[in-house]
Chain A
Amino acid sequence: QTVVTQEPSFSVSPGGTVTLTCGLSSGSVSTNHYPSWYQQTPGQAPRTLIYSTNTRSSGVPDRFSGSILGNKAALTITGAQADDESDYYCVLYMGSGFGVFGGGTKLTVL
């Protein structure tokens, strides 16, 4: 069974730049997987950040950007702020009508 991989944790300094990735246990991520990214804080529902690889959802600051880097999807946060400290999840469309979420990355801003 295909596994979607994400870094379990990452840390970034305030004002710094961080890139989180979303890969596959087998194969490469492409735009055909329609990668999307979600931010979740404790006790809250996920918030949509990026969809279709690199389209920002309404109201999302432009310091969040999405891309394909090598064989993975990537979420880059430029100028990290304290309230960016959250869990980040990607989801990939695997074809045949089903999708798989990554395990999530816990981002610490310190």
Chain B
Amino acid sequence: QVQLQESGPGLVKPSQTLSLTCTVSGGSISSGSYYWSWIRQPAGKGLEWIGRIYTSGSTNYNPSLKSRITISVDTSKNQFSLKLSSVTAADTAVYYCARVAPNWKFDPWGQGTLVTVSS
């Protein structure tokens, strides 16, 4: 049973870079034709797809965030990561990682981690 767990700082200062890691357990991040994705949810609001990565390193990003996002993968550690630069209060959200099948099924999901942008 594949499980995902997000980790990283819960507080980031404005203009700095948010960095999160998603650790995959119960299976290899390289097995199967899966993408690995980041999604976020501001408090009281809906889900927003941030981007995804394949284990080859190929990425796709949300066009509205593309200039600030970098998603990378470390297959040796069974992890993938998110970096979001130049953050503002609007980037405060719960950040989820998820596995994405070729048919765009998001499953499983991590439990989510709250990141607050504040000085």
Rounded to whole Å, the gap between the CB of B26 and the closest CB of chain A is 15
CB-based contact A97/B60 at 8 Å: yes
Task: Of the listed stretches A10-18, A22-30, A45-53, name the one at the interface; the rest are far from the partner chain.
Answer: A45-53
Set B46, B49, B52: member contacting A103, Cβ < 8 A: B46
Rounded to whole Å, the gap between the CB of A59 and the closest CB of chain B is 11
| Residue A79 at the chain B interface, CB threshold 8 Å | no
Task: Give residues of chain A (51-72) contacting chain B, Cβ–Cβ below 8 Å.
Answer: 51-52, 57
Chain A: number of interface residues, binned into ranges: 20 to 34
CB-based contact A102/B46 at 8 Å: yes
Task: Of the listed stretches B72-80, B83-91, B99-107, name the one at the interface; the rest are far from the partner chain.
Answer: B99-107
Rounded to whole Å, the gap between the CB of A50 and the closest CB of chain B is 9
State the A residues within 8 Å of B (CB).
1, 34, 36, 38, 45-48, 51-52, 57, 89, 91-93, 96-104
Rounded to whole Å, the gap between the CB of A21 and the closest CB of chain B is 15
Complex CA gap A97/B54 in Å reads 11
Q: Contacts of B48 on A, CB cut-off 8 Å?
A: 101
- The interface size of chain B toward A, counting residues with CB under 8 Å, comes to 24
| Residue B56 at the chain A interface, CB threshold 8 Å | no
Q: Contacts of B96 on A, CB cut-off 8 Å?
A: 45-46
CB-based contact B52/A93 at 8 Å: no
- Nearest opposing residue in chain B for A40, CB measure: B47
| Residue B118 at the chain A interface, CB threshold 8 Å | no
Q: Contacts of A46 on B, CB cut-off 8 Å?
A: 47, 96, 106, 109
Complex CA gap A38/B106 in Å reads 9
Task: Of the listed stretches B7-15, B16-24, B61-69, name the one at the interface; the rest are far from the partner chain.
Answer: B61-69
Complex CA gap A3/B96 in Å reads 21
Q: A45-B96, A100-B49 are in contact. List 17 more A-B contacts (CB 8 A).
A: A1-B64, A34-B103, A34-B104, A36-B106, A46-B47, A46-B109, A48-B106, A51-B105, A52-B105, A57-B107, A91-B47, A97-B52, A98-B49, A98-B60, A101-B39, A101-B46, A104-B46
